[in-house]
Amino acid sequence: MAKIAVEKPYEDVKKALEEKGHTVKMFSTDENVSGYDMGVVRAINEGHNDEFEFPVVAMSGMSIDNVVQAVEHRLGQM
């Protein structure tokens, strides 16, 4: 399964992804995060898409189930 970084404080997203078998680490926006297959963040600021060295799912306006589906869909495309 994938290694996924989830922006704090979204513990519910972390738990849902762990239930799918993924390894998940929480991070704050001021941390340098690397070595992950995917990231889940609150939103992507325009012009800051290159902050991460891995694909990112922005969960703004999405349910937890939708976030998990989006992550697994993106992972399936890799």
Structural domains of the chain, ranges and CATH numbers in brackets? 3-76 (3.40.50.2300)
pLDDT tens digits, 37-73:
999 999 876 544 567 788 999 999 999 999 999 999 9
Report yes or no on whether pTM surpasses 0.75: yes
Determine contact, residues 57/37, Cβ cutoff 8 Å.
no
Given CA atoms 59, 16, 52, 77 in this order, what sign does their dihedral have? negative
Q: What is the average per-residue pLDDT within 9-18?
A: 97
